[in-house]
Amino acid sequence: ALVLATPTAIAAAIGNLTKHGILVKDGASIEELAQVNEMVFDKTGTLTHGTPEVIEVVSDNGDMMKLLASLESQSEHPLAKSIVKHYNSNDLYEVDDFRMYIGKGVTGKVNGFKLIAGNRKLLDMENIPVKYAHENREGSIEIYVAKDGEVIGKVFLADTLRSNAKKTIKKLRKLNMKTTLLSGDNEETGKIIANQVNVDNYKFNCLPEDKTEYIRQRQLNQNKIAMIGDGINDAPSLKKANVGIAMGSIGSDVSIEAANIALINDDIEEIPHLIAISRKALNVININIAFSLSLNILAMIMAMFGLLDPIAGALVHNIGSVIVIIYSSTLMNYRISRKEIEKQKKLGMTKHLNKSIT
């Protein structure tokens, strides 16, 4: 029975999660997730749909969009795909020496010109003076376009929030889970999303290494971190977190490979269920172990006093194993109740109060 205490509970929990469109790579992730106290979210493609659309183009150069679309056609980034889709033409220039700078933008030789497309960090890196800085659109992503060292225009893109994002954050907070948003967007754009979903904490203008460093610092303070993301940029953070969760449908192959868990249908509303069943599985494992140890000790004492012969001992052992399997199988159809949510919320408030007093 003792040998079956953990694997039966983990197998049942994984079976339950599979029915909810959640793929778990290894059982250890379930036990680790049960101890997580902070969920870190990427924004684009996670809390939002990840399919931003061009809402406005500001430029005096009539050829800018063709130049930009030609350059972005070399990239797999969602913003790049949206720009190419907006241009809506196969009439593109040839691109040479294409380079991508993670968290900043892209550069390349387009129709003989050195073209740069990205945020202000990329302009600063290339020592290009900023133009069109006064042009702002609330809640949008800004892409500056520079040709041969001079800004020739600016493109605004906007992403839409997932309809269940706010509900997911609310459920996680009820489970006493701290929620954090780490975004590469500027503060103005990121704050709009952060306020809409009501996360506990947020940081903007984050490069991939900034996200990884945030997780590292939180772990140094004895926190267990789960990270959820979808892009190549998120892979280092997914790997650094105690548990990495990737969007399985829209997520990149790199992020899925780096993660421990994948949401097959990209349904973030299943994350609270993932947390709840992980905690329940750990509870079942502990009860299984306590029951198995108690049964074994009792059987040993009875055998020492001649109250249990070998045949009866084998029977008791088998009955214990069956009980453990049956109890673990209750996880197969487990779904957290409102009563349990309120119980975990009160428990979390008590722990926080005790920590503040001490």
Segment 257-268, tens digit of pLDDT: 889 999 998 899
Q: What is the pLDDT of residues 48-102, one digit of tens each?
A: 887 788 989 999 999 999 999 999 999 988 889 999 999 999 999 999 999 999 8
User: What's the pLDDT at 355?
Assistant: 44
Q: What is the pTM of this model?
A: 0.74
148 catalytic? Reply is: no
Q: What average pLDDT does range 190-214 have in this prediction?
A: 92
Query: What is the average pLDDT value for the chain, to the nearest integer?
Result: 89
- What string of DSSP letters covers 98-158? EEEETTTEEEEEETTEEEEEE-HHHHHHTT----STT---TT-EEEEEEETTEEEEEEEEE
Could you tell me where the beta strands, DSSP code E, fall in 140-293?
141-147, 150-158, 178-182, 201-203, 225-229, 243-247, 261-263
> What domains lie within the chain, and their CATH numbers?
1-49+162-358 (3.40.50.1000), 53-158 (3.40.1110.10)
Count of beta carbons in the 10 Å neighbourhood of residue 55:
14
Residue range 201-229: mean pLDDT, rounded: 94
Per the DSSP assignment, residues forming a β-bridge with 23 are 262
Residue 190 confidence class, pLDDT cut points 50, 70, 90: confident
Catalytic residue among 26, 42, 91, 124: 42
**Contact at 8 Å (CB) between 245 and 238?**
yes
pLDDT band at 343; cut points 50, 70, 90: low
Tokens linked to 69 = 């679309």
Burial (Cβ within 10 Å: 0-12, 13-18, ≥19) of residue 107: buried
Q: How confident is the model at residue 45 (pLDDT cuts 50, 70, 90)?
A: confident
**pLDDT-derived band of residue 346, with 50, 70 and 90 as boundaries?**
low
Our CA dihedral for 70, 71, 77, 82, rounded to 10 degrees, sits at: -40
pLDDT in tens, 318-328: 899 999 999 99
User: Is there a contact between 232 and 255 (Cβ–Cβ < 8 Å)?
Assistant: yes
Residue 249: CA count within 13 A, CB half-sphere: 12
Assigned token pair, 136: 């702002």
